[in-house]
A and B are shown apart, each in its own frame.
Chain A
């Protein structure tokens, strides 16, 4: 065991089915666990990748049933609204003295969390989260609301070049990385730099070999040239912040100036003409650059296999990059190569849940079928939306708010800290009390059918604990830890009959959901 091959978590390893549900989904639901008997990884991956063929009408019907009435009494537009419709809403809500962007963001949380909880297109939802972070823009404006549907969800399992093309023209991105303000004569370099550093090639070569992470992919001159090439890609002067190409702000096409981009090569790329075509050509070059293939594959491997792909699964990174190159950036093909690589199946212990995954996987393990609607201002509800919003914030992964263009980190050391221990513990208890009836006494507890269904109760303390371990952890835990849980739940009688009215049951669920065992993904 060395630093690159972390300790195997205590307790047994999970089944391959369980691992797949942990990594490609937001954890298994009870009905998933029931169906794990004849699991086949290849069919599972193919079924999830072919997401359009998965009937998701139940989830969509649930989302359609959620109220879109905001606290001011106006109606938030559906997530597929146009920029004009979003603007209309903002005007109406402002007229009602509201904060329309806050409402839009809260409704987008609701639908995103609801899909993570209920959608059968789980891998698609995981990839939406992946690209949301890869192409990070934050909710500084209503434009993220538009971008989520029209850019991220549109291309999450599509083609990479289409995705970054849509992102480059996305008003949210144009504002977030300042390109909308850029001017060809003295350009703003913010977007051009991050397009290369964070979205495509990476600052150093990701191609394995002697140049790996040594040879810069571009120079400062390249950044400046790329910024000039992309100048004029703006929203300025459009009624609803739609994208347009503004020749007047672009790098002047009538100049006979030649733009050269070296991108770490001995020969340069030549950009002789002005116009939007130049920017499209830049995106073509960046999307087809070999370092992009390795960088994207690296990040996907880090999402699905290990915090340390280079050390744990360089062969999976290679397989993903080759698939990316061969398919010209087809995201499904790339992902399939990675998920069916043998290193995936061998990767138990390599990933820890981030707060989003912890929150949703706990709810899925509880078998819940409703999501908290974050839109209403329900301060009067002690376990309502505002309470959970605060708890999610405390855990540090409030969706669409991260201010840095890197997107949120995807490695455990960036997440797992003392604050997480407390925050997840609190969140586990809060979810139990919100959804299974609030317990405010130590000597009695309210009857709750959903909680009884969760443990299959009334049943013995031993059986209840084993069932909860199966739901929340999915593998055998240390015998002493199991005994401690059983003794606590049954008040030192392993055969004591327990049900939702047993005062020790809710705390037991809280411990198991907050336990170190349940933090592994």
Chain B
């Protein structure tokens, strides 16, 4: 895989979500940035001797599946009720259902709790699951995490601000509510009292909108760790290192003088870039050998390996010894989740779109967990939240796809239960199942759990956020009244 392929999956919906004319006014912040930055001394050198991992709160990794993940074919309601089964299998998705666990099909869903079953490509590597096109990263995927008690599934989640538009709904979810300013992840860091330069990374082309900060909080975009920072060279353009360094440092000195005025958005971000470079260059100049196999091969995934590489980069930064520990990372996943046509079900053939989309998510989340858990210090110290803007409609259309729907699954991936240090109560399916006959917006699954309730549960239990900060700071406009018991309180 070359860099071209690596980057290809990166731009995607993330930037698109920031496009919309009206929502975007909530995100502007020049004057506040200037105020927040102007009087603060700029640290030249960072403090020494880091304590890793951060011991006061878990690392938060937010995975936003852009495009509308078909949660009904990921977590299949194969035995929720007779009515559901009849409508679901026989009527609404006649050729697009996932065969239930008791079916005689070669590839079929794998039972989670006798009501719901997981798509087989989320369980690659589990004995009995038929695995076409095998790969070393097939180590049990989401199913293994569920079995181990490190995966909680929350069904029928969504945003009350939902519209039929990807871009509006994504933006509202990024903002944590339609009328909010800036991204909710940035406000989480505010609520936690983290300094403005707390390390927040988007391992992709640009930072996720959920990290856009009205208070001038720093966020670092890392499209490719091998080529991070300013360069007088790439693999192709070779200049002797001493020459390059001399030219670079001369340029840098003057550019830093220009940027450090910090009087507008352009300069503030320039400052952040130079600081981030100082912080991370040593991490990226050291070759990283992950302790698990990530899945980036284009014969298995449709995003040119972007997601797998992004998760690997997060692990690389988290496990590195840096003074300013990684607090949050956000990844935007694309590659074709907006399956209006030719969605595919379980077959790995010329039309294996959905199997590849699911394999990408499942194998790389599992790889990330294994990679992190290989370091005993990280066991029970990170949480990955996976969400999408909406699910897909209950019925298939005539082009073998599903249009925009409503409620959807959310995944909360924790760690440490097999090692006796659990941070979430996994191995369970949370949320109130509405049944398939209660159609919600757009004839999708009815929403019974606000996505923010799931996030709040994790933030309060694992990230040291006081409960009242949920409504006051992180999700203004949301009426949080209590968690769901997903997080194991510290």
Contacts and interface: CB of A to CB of B under 8 A. Distances in A.
A444 to B, nearest CB: 11
Nearest to A219: B164
B251 A510 contact: yes
Interface in A478-521: 478, 480-481, 484-485, 488, 504, 507, 510-511, 514-517, 519-520
A429 B232 contact: yes
Nearest to B335: A403
A393 B2 CA distance: 12
Nearest to B229: A422
A413 B265 contact: yes
B266 A520 contact: yes
A91 B46 CA distance: 59
B215 to A, nearest CB: 12
Interface in B399-447: 399, 401, 403-404, 441-442
A390 B25 CA distance: 32
Interface string A400-436: 0111101111111111111111100110011001000
B329 to A, nearest CB: 14
Interface stretch (B98-106, B254-262, B370-378): B254-262
B190 interface: no
Contact of B206 (A203, A223, A419): A419
A311 B7 CA distance: 35
B4 A389 contact: yes
B263 to A, nearest CB: 6
A70 interface: no
A3 interface: yes
A8 B27 CA distance: 18
B51 interface: no
A406 B401 contact: no
A379 B7 CA distance: 18
A294 B215 CA distance: 32
A440 interface: yes
A468 B219 CA distance: 32
A185 B398 CA distance: 8
Interface residues of A, number: 93
Given A182-B399, A190-B403, A9 B15 contact: no
Contact of A488 (B32, B221, B250, B261): B250
A210 to B, nearest CB: 15
Contacts of B164: 193, 220, 223
30 contacts: A178-B340, A181-B341, A181-B399, A193-B165, A298-B21, A307-B28, A379-B236, A386-B236, A389-B4, A393-B4, A393-B7, A394-B3, A396-B206, A401-B11, A402-B11, A406-B20, A413-B27, A414-B19, A414-B206, A417-B219, A418-B269, A418-B273, A419-B223, A421-B259, A426-B232, A440-B239, A442-B246, A478-B261, A481-B254, A520-B266
Interface of B: 3-4, 7-8, 10-13, 15-16, 18-22, 24-25, 27-32, 34, 163-168, 205-207, 212, 219-224, 227-232, 234, 236-240, 242-243, 246-247, 250-251, 253-255, 257-259, 261, 263-267, 269-270, 272-274, 276-277, 334, 340-341, 397-399, 401, 403-404, 441-442
Interface of A: 1-4, 6-10, 178, 181-183, 185-190, 193, 197, 203-204, 213, 220, 223, 298-299, 302, 307-311, 352, 379, 382-384, 386-387, 389-391, 393-394, 396, 401-404, 406-422, 425-426, 429-430, 433, 439-442, 478, 480-481, 484-485, 488, 504, 507, 510-511, 514-517, 519-520
